[in-house]
A and B are shown apart, each in its own frame.
Chain A
Amino acid sequence: MVTQDGATVTARSIDATRDWLERNLHSTSIIETERFGFFYGREQALREVSLGIPIDGVTAIMGPSGCGKSTLLRAFNRMNELYPNTRAEGTIRFLGQDLLKADPVAVRRHIGMVFQRPNPFPKSIFDNIAYGPRVHGIRHRAHLAELVEESLRRAALWDEVKDHLKKSALSLSGGQQQRLGIARALAVRPTVLLMDEPCSALDPKATDRIETTTRELAQELTVVIVTHNLQQAGRISDHVAVLLAGGVLAEFGSTRTVFASPFSEQVADYLSGRFG
C-alpha cells in the first residue's frame, strides 16, 4: 500500500509471494536455515540447524524448555543480537536473501513478532497499533485509522475495543493484551509472523481465541509459533520442528507424520510426555 504521504507498508499477497518463490527459487520455503548455529558468549544454544519454513500454514517449534526454541525463532527477526556477545554461524535465507547480512531494521518490518508475555506500550490502544506504521513514516490520520481497524479486525479484537481506542492498553485483560500484540505486529503488514509461546500466560478460553485467530491468519501469511504444549501444536500446526537439549534439530516434517511416527526415539519419548 502506498499512502498519500508516500510511505509504504508491504502488501504483497501470500499467493504472489508463493508464485515468486516457486518461479525464482523452485521452492516453497520462505525461510531456510543451513547448518545454523548460535552462541551466547561461550554457550552454544543451537547446533547445525537446517530446515525450511514452508510459506503456507503454521509451523510449530517444539521441544523441552531451554533447548533453544526462542533462540531459533528470534534468529528469524534478528532479535537475538540485541543481547551482548552473541555470535551466529551458518546461514539463514529469507526469500532467497541472506538474512544475517541484511539490515535488521528492514528484516523486522517484514517478519513480525508476538512475545511470550503480553507487552503493550503504556499508550492508548490506538497508539499501540499505530506505532509500527508511524515508525515507518505514515503520518496521515485517516490511513493510520484504517490500518488500526484492519489490524484489530484481523486479530479478532476490534469488536471489543472499537468504542474505546483512546483507553490505555494496560487496562485490557491478558488475553486482550496478547491479541493487541498480534494486531500491533500485523499493522506493518508483515510477511511472516513469529509467536513465542503466546498463550503461556493465558487461561484456556483466551488461549482458544488466540489459536482460532492464528489459524485464520495462516491463510494470509506465514506463521511460526513456539509452543511446548503438545495438544496446542496438534491443534494448530501443519508442520513441526522438534529441538532437543543442546539445540539440536531432531525432527522436522508435517505435524501429522511427526506425531504419528517420529524418526528418533528421543522425540518419541518427548512426544509421549516421558520427559521435557
Chain B
Amino acid sequence: MRRPARALRDDGTAGPPLDLRPIRKAGLRGLITILKERWDRPVFLALASVSLIALGLILFFIFREAAPILRETGLSGFFGTHWNPTGSPASYGALPMIAGSALVTVAALVLAIPLGFAAAAFIAEVAPRWMKDVAKSILELLAGVPSVIYGFFGLMIVAPAFQRAFGLSTGRTALTASVILGIMALPTIASLAEDALTAVPNSYREASMALGASRWQTIRRVTFPAAFSGLIGAAILGMGRAVGETMAVLMVAGNAPQITASLLRPVRTLTSAIALEMGETAMGSTHYHALFALGVVLLIIALVTNGLAEWFRGRLARKHGR
C-alpha cells in the first residue's frame, strides 16, 4: 500500500495538515536543482519581455515620427483629399490612400469570403478524409507563397487579361489588385472558417440529418449559424491580411493617389504609398512625417481588426466550450 509521503501530519502538532512547502536544498547543489527544474519560467519570461519591448519600441518610434504631422498640416490637412508631396504647394491628404485601401480590400473580400467559406464548408462537411488532407495542404501551400510571386502573377497574367477584356490603357487597376488580394486572403479565410465549422458539435449535424434535412440544408441552417462568430472572425482576419499586404498590391494596383469608386482605375493603398515613397524622402521632412502617419492609420486598422477577430473567435469557443 502507498503511504502519502509527507502529506498528512500525524504528530498532533499545530499547523496546516498538508505540507506544501517547496523542497529546498542548500548551497550550489540546491541552486542547480532549482535551475534544472525551473529553467523554463525565466527563459519564457525573458523571451516574452523581449517581444513586448520590441513591440513597444516599434509603436513608440512610429508614433514619435508621426506626431509632427499634427503641427505641420493639422488633422484636417492630413485627412485632406489630395496627396501630392512633391508639388508646390505640396499637399499631404491621406484620404486617397485610405479610400484606395478600402476599395481594394472590400472588393478582395467580396471575392474571397464566398470562395473561402465554400472551400471551408467543402473541407469540413463534405470531402472524404483523403481529399480533406489534400485540400488543406493546398491551402497551406497558397498561404506560403511569397507575396512578390503573387504580384508577379498579377502583373504578367491578370493585368494584361483585364487590360484586353475591358479595353483599358493599363491593366494595373484596383480590380487587378483586388483579385490578387482576394487570392492571397483566401487561404486565411478558408482555413480559419474550416476551424470554426469543425468546432461545431457533430450532434447538431446528426439532429438535423435525422429530421430529414439534406447535407446542404444542414450546412446552411445549422452548421453555419452555429459557427457564425468564428466565420466572422475568419473574415476579419482575412481583411487584415488584405489591408496589410504591400508588395503584391504595389506591383499591380497602378499607384495613382486618386479617390475613385471605379475598380477599373489605378489606386494607391496605404501600404504601397509608404513602401514607394519612404526611400525618396528626406528624414524629418513633412513628407517623412506624413508617411509615418499613414503607418499609424495602418496600425490602428490592424489592432482593431485583430481585436475584433479575437473577440468573435473567443465568443465561438465560449459557446461550444464544453
Whether a CB of chain B sits under 8 angstroms from the CB of A117 is: yes
Task: Name the contact of A117 in the complex, choosing from B203, B208, B212, B221 (C-beta under 8 A).
Answer: B203
Known contacts: A122-B226, A131-B221. The answer to whether A184 contacts B207 by CB under 8 A is: yes
Contact residues, B203-241 vs A (CB, 8 A): 203-204, 206-214, 217, 221-222, 225-226
Contact B214 A105 (CB under 8 A): yes
CA distance A115 to B213 in the complex (A): 16
* Chain A residues within an 8 Å CB radius of B214: 105
Contact residues, A23-46 vs B (CB, 8 A): none
CA distance A185 to B201 in the complex (A): 19
Whether a CB of chain B sits under 8 angstroms from the CB of A227 is: no
CA distance A136 to B217 in the complex (A): 10
Known contacts: A84-B129, A121-B226, A135-B221. The answer to whether A185 contacts B211 by CB under 8 A is: yes
CA distance A82 to B205 in the complex (A): 10
Known contacts: A119-B204, A119-B206, A121-B204. The answer to whether A108 contacts B211 by CB under 8 A is: yes
Contact residues, A208-227 vs B (CB, 8 A): none
As a 0/1 sequence over residues 188 to 213 of chain B, the CB contacts with chain A under 8 angstroms (1 = contact) are: 00000000000001011011111111
Contact B211 A135 (CB under 8 A): yes
Interface residues on A, range: 20 to 34
Contact B206 A79 (CB under 8 A): yes
Task: Name the contact of A108 in the complex, choosing from B129, B203, B210 (C-beta under 8 A).
Answer: B210
CA distance A149 to B221 in the complex (A): 22
* Chain B residues within an 8 Å CB radius of A106: 212
Task: Name the contact of A135 in the complex, choosing from B129, B203, B213, B319 (C-beta under 8 A).
Answer: B213
Known contacts: A121-B226, A122-B319, A135-B217. The answer to whether A113 contacts B210 by CB under 8 A is: yes
Known contacts: A84-B128, A131-B221, A135-B217. The answer to whether A108 contacts B207 by CB under 8 A is: no
Contact residues, A86-132 vs B (CB, 8 A): 105-106, 108-109, 112-113, 115, 117, 119-123, 131-132
* Chain A residues within an 8 Å CB radius of B211: 108-109, 112, 131-132, 135, 184-185, 188
Q: In the complex, which of the residues A77, A113, A121 has the most CB atoms of chain B within 10 Å of its own CB atom?
A: A121
Contact B226 A108 (CB under 8 A): no
* Chain A residues within an 8 Å CB radius of B128: 84
CA distance A135 to B215 in the complex (A): 11
User: Shortest distance in angstroms between B301's beta carbon and chain A's nearest beta carbon?
Assistant: 32
Contact A79 B209 (CB under 8 A): yes
CA distance A115 to B214 in the complex (A): 19
CA distance A136 to B128 in the complex (A): 27
CA distance A74 to B214 in the complex (A): 17
The 18 sampled A-B contact pairs (Cβ below 8 Å) are A77-B210, A106-B212, A108-B211, A109-B212, A112-B210, A115-B203, A115-B207, A119-B207, A121-B204, A122-B204, A123-B225, A131-B221, A132-B211, A132-B213, A135-B217, A184-B207, A188-B211, A188-B212
